[in-house]
Structure 1
Amino acid sequence: MKIGEFSKKNNVTQDTIRHYIDMGLLVAEKQGWQYKFSEEDSCDIEKITMLKQLDFSLTEIQEILCFNRIGGEKTDEFRDFYLSLLERKKEQNLKEQQRCKEIDFLLKDRINELKRYGISEKKRLGFPLSSTGLLYCPCCKQALEISDGIVEKSMLIEATVHCECGYISVIEDGIYIDKKAVRKKIEIPSKKKFLEVTSPKFVNFMYNGTHTIIDYILNHGNSPKYIMELDNCVGRFLMQYIDYLPKGCTYVLICHDKDRITSVKDNLVQQHEHSNFIFFCCAMDQLPIAESSMDIIIDHWMSRIYAKSTNKSLLDIVSPFLKEEGLLTGAYPHIGTKSKDFINIPLELRDYFNKNRILERLDALYFSQLEVAEIGPVLENNPYIDMNDKEQYLMLYAGRKKSQIDNISPANEFERKRRQNLIS
């Protein structure tokens, strides 16, 4: 038989047959450039198939067939040799069965543990009564009034929040909601979808940046009472930082997508013990927070994303909320200053992709630099990132807010320095 006919008869691919010949499992006769196969070769294929079903490796099968070919199958020596291999394989199989039982027990235990999170009695998270003094009208900057409140365990669960100027919002299920600002986020994939198109290198790029910021907070945080996170994917930084979050600290989360911030809140209820959170479903430029109330602000990849969608500087908006001597720390992705990719970026947005301009902006906002680091570059072809297929870096920053003794506004100071640079 030629190889094609032999392959069909024994239901084995031609590539597999050639591999068996190369290993010496089959000893087919070669005539010219073609192999010729006999019924004896078919018997060998049957032996190989049977031994594979017994979980012997091809190397072990090679050893068995060679012993058979030297001494014959019906000999005491072959019988003793084959019997020893079978007994050894049986012992290995028993050990593997025991290992599978142990893995099965661990899997069941972990599955039950995770299921218990979903069915256990839920705690409730609401707006802390101790933090209501933070609430100031984003329109007229006066203290907000609260009425029709429902309180559980020193937390507001439901309430109406209003101001004499006509501003009104609500607290629903513990979330502060400005109903005029509520809208769905677009083009934010699930973590599963994101990972399907993201390289491990880029994941580690993001992870290293996040943990550098955590180090900055641990080194310079000074026992914060209030921390505000700014992240387009709300709660993303918190989930890496939460094990370090001081027990008495209140963590502020902001997102104009009600479903997303509710999802983060539900996860915190089920998975974590910390209970001091404030959930704002508001626009960034309409935050109902008193100035100089935050001890730490975390700008986690948010400034450039906010600028692209609004053409506004997020740092200008949020820096008044930070106390004097408060800590600003952030992750600022950017393109190398000599990169040709700048050509494709709109002129009005280039400052947000430029490390030096970002540092100038921070300096103009009266931040005293504590630490700056840079990681990268990485080149990522990913539809979910705005610097797709561009070589990018990540600047990690920590700075402390200085006392503002000048009458020059941050915006004017930044423009003045920029013009000086252009002139020079």
Structure 2
Amino acid sequence: MKIGQFSQHFNLTSETIRYYINKGLLVPVTKNDRYDFCERDIEDMKLLQKLKFFHFSITDIHKILSLKRLSNLDSSEELSDYINILVAQKKVLLGEKAHLHKVINDLQKEISSTSSKHTDAIKRKSGVPLTFLPYLACPHCQSNLSISNCNIERDQIISGGLNCACGFNATIQNGILIGQPGKISIYDGPDVERNCYRMMSPSLITLMQKAYHWMLERLNKCDTKGKLILEDFVNNYCFCHSNFEAMDKDAYYIITDKYPEIVAVYKNLIDKLNLDLQVLYIAAGSHLLPLKNNCVDIYIDFDAANEYAIFHNGYATDALTRYFHQNTYAIGAFFSLKPGSPSIQELPGSPSIQELYRQYPETWEKCFDIAYFRKYMQEIWEEALDYDNIGYVTDSGEDESFSYHIRGEKLGLSTYFMHGFKGTS
């Protein structure tokens, strides 16, 4: 839907719609320098108009829309944040004149309907789909795994054991395949409260939404039917959770992280979407995934390269090389900061990089270096199908949201689309 049709649909001017876009309230897809509005934008506009009727400021509307875009208000934390915002606005309106009485009543209805989402959501119980068994293998010797003590419901393994003659073993607990985590840094930890999301600035969320659009468009250009799609390192962000409703229902998806509690968080959120998807959840170190070599057809990386490089001398792809093959695609987003000196001892010039070293002393010096990252990607992939600089923010949020980013410094976000893995040197 073009901007003229969209504005007429809501009885607004095109200038008003452009104003909302500039403020980050609407984030339509851009095609050939023109806006293309979809059903999600219509839903955002309806919510925007509802919140305007509730007398929320533009800033508060942006925060609520950002909260919805991140989580679809699926978890109790985000629902609580939303309810707290609504309740606070109710108190303001109660102190105003009597003509606001109708608005207050409508607001109470919204609070009640949102609160019921805690109990009304029907969670789809899922496990390890039997369709994934041909893809499983010992991460050490690549032998087939034997299965024992399984509890199977509707072609899903809810619990059980996986064993190899070489001594490797893993378990399936609550539908999650739990393997070996590998070495974990003392500076690392699971973000089970999803504070990286909740503390983000609205401008950063808008930037990420633009990257999501870009990545989803490239993903949908691929033949994904029957293909194995892997997303790793979801401790900070999970592209699949945010976009599953627009992704191919006939693909096979694997979502992994080294922390079982993080995998459980996203499994719970995705189960609440109640989508008929084939998803395998694995909690294990990236180089220890119990998968067959060369099985991954499409790799999704949203901040995984950055996250890995904070704790290792390299990018996430280095840990995943054996799962790729010569026809694998990679679609991702990479955050960047102004490079500093190559080591903490030399006192890096970039304030954010210096703070990054202080908080995470194991950080690789190329962690946020977009120029080096692109050169690296061109060396290990046959084709660079597309690149884009999505933009930057100078305010990334508070506390755990890029805690090392110094406000005022540019935090950039770039995307890539690669094909044909040829290996690392």
Given the two structures, how large is their TM-score scaled by the length of structure 2? 0.64
1:186 aligns with 2:189: yes
Deviations 1:144-202 (A, max 9, x none): 22222221111111221111111111111211112565979627373468544x43222
Q: 1:100 to 1:307 in 2, by over 3 A?
A: closer
Q: Which residue of 1 aligns with 2:150?
A: 149
Q: Which residue of 2 aligns with 1:379?
A: 394
Give me the whole-angstrom Cα distance separating, in 2, the residues matched to 1:351 and 1:113.
Answer: 43
Q: Is the 8 A contact 1:126 1:278 kept in 2?
A: yes
Q: Which residue of 2 aligns with 1:368?
A: 383
Q: Is the 8 A contact 1:250 1:276 kept in 2?
A: yes
1:215, CA displacement in angstroms? Answer: 1.9
Q: Is the 8 A contact 2:177 2:281 kept in 1?
A: yes
1:392 aligns with 2:411: yes
Deviations 1:16-74 (A, max 9, x none): xxxxxxxxxxxxxxxxxxxxxxxxxxxxxxxxxxxxxxxxxxxxxxxxxxxxxxxxxxx
Q: Which residue of 2 aligns with 1:170?
A: 171
Give me the whole-angstrom Cα distance separating, in 1, the residues matched to 2:239 and 2:158.
Answer: 25
1:363, CA displacement in angstroms? Answer: 2.0
Q: Which residue of 1 aligns with 2:424?
A: 410
1:298, CA displacement in angstroms? Answer: 0.6
Match of residue 225, structure 2, among 223, 226, 236: 223
Pick which of 249-258 and 219-228 moved more: 219-228
Q: 1:195 to 1:291 in 2, by over 3 A?
A: same
Q: Which residue of 1 aligns with 2:241?
A: 239
Q: Is the 8 A contact 1:234 1:255 kept in 2?
A: no
Amino acid at match of 1:410: T
Amino acid at match of 2:165: E
Q: Which aligned pairs between 1:57-68 and structure 2 lie closer than 5 A?
A: none
Deviations 1:216-260 (A, max 9, x none): 212335435221112342662122211112112222111222222
Pick which of 132-141 and 217-226 moved more: 217-226
Rg larger in structure? 1
Q: Which residue of 2 aligns with 1:140?
A: 141
1:308, CA displacement in angstroms? Answer: 1.8
Q: 1:179 to 1:368 in 2, by over 3 A?
A: closer
Give me the whole-angstrom Cα distance separating, in 2, the residues matched to 1:130 and 1:347.
Answer: 39
Q: Which has the higher contact order (CA 8 A, sep 6+)?
A: 2
Q: Which aligned pairs between 1:269-284 and structure 2 lie closer than 5 A?
A: 269-284=271-286
Q: 1:208 to 1:115 in 2, by over 3 A?
A: same
Aligned residue pairs: how many? 311
Aligned to 2:215, the other structure's residue is in SS state helix
Give me the whole-angstrom Cα distance separating, in 1, the residues matched to 2:171 and 2:404.
Answer: 37
1:353 aligns with 2:368: yes
Aligned to 1:398, the other structure's residue is in SS state strand
Give me the whole-angstrom Cα distance separating, in 2, the residues matched to 1:330 and 1:180.
Answer: 23
Q: Which residue of 1 aligns with 2:209?
A: 207
Q: Which residue of 2 aligns with 1:341?
A: 350
Q: Is the 8 A contact 2:163 2:169 kept in 1?
A: yes
1:100, CA displacement in angstroms? Answer: 4.3
Pick which of 312-321 and 327-336 moved more: 312-321
Give me the whole-angstrom Cα distance separating, in 1, the residues matched to 2:220 and 2:390.
Answer: 20
Match of residue 116, structure 2, among 97, 112, 115: 112
Aligned to 2:328, the other structure's residue is in SS state strand
Aligned to 1:349, the other structure's residue is in SS state coil
Give me the whole-angstrom Cα distance separating, in 1, the residues matched to 2:172 and 2:362.
Answer: 41
Give me the whole-angstrom Cα distance separating, in 1, the residues matched to 2:161 and 2:192.
Answer: 33
Q: Is the 8 A contact 2:212 2:239 kept in 1?
A: yes
Q: Is the 8 A contact 1:174 1:279 kept in 2?
A: yes
Give me the whole-angstrom Cα distance separating, in 1, the residues matched to 2:106 and 2:403.
Answer: 46
Q: Is the 8 A contact 2:176 2:280 kept in 1?
A: yes
Q: Is the 8 A contact 2:333 2:413 kept in 1?
A: yes
Unaligned runs of 5+ in 1: 1-92, 412-424
Give me the whole-angstrom Cα distance separating, in 1, the residues matched to 2:403 and 2:109.
Answer: 44
Unaligned runs of 5+ in 2: 1-96, 342-348
Q: Is the 8 A contact 1:221 1:327 kept in 2?
A: no
Q: 1:398 to 1:254 in 2, by over 3 A?
A: same
Match of residue 307, structure 1, among 306, 309, 313: 309
Q: Which aligned pairs between 1:11-50 and structure 2 lie closer than 5 A?
A: none
Flag the structure with higher helix content: 1
Given the two structures, how large is their TM-score scaled by the length of structure 1? 0.64
Q: 1:201 to 1:331 in 2, by over 3 A?
A: same
Q: Is the 8 A contact 2:241 2:269 kept in 1?
A: no
Amino acid at match of 2:373: I
Q: 1:304 to 1:187 in 2, by over 3 A?
A: same
Give me the whole-angstrom Cα distance separating, in 1, the residues matched to 2:112 and 2:286.
Answer: 44
Q: Is the 8 A contact 2:306 2:367 kept in 1?
A: yes
Q: Which residue of 2 aligns with 1:19?
A: none
Q: Which residue of 2 aligns with 1:14?
A: none
Pick which of 234-243 and 391-400 moved more: 234-243
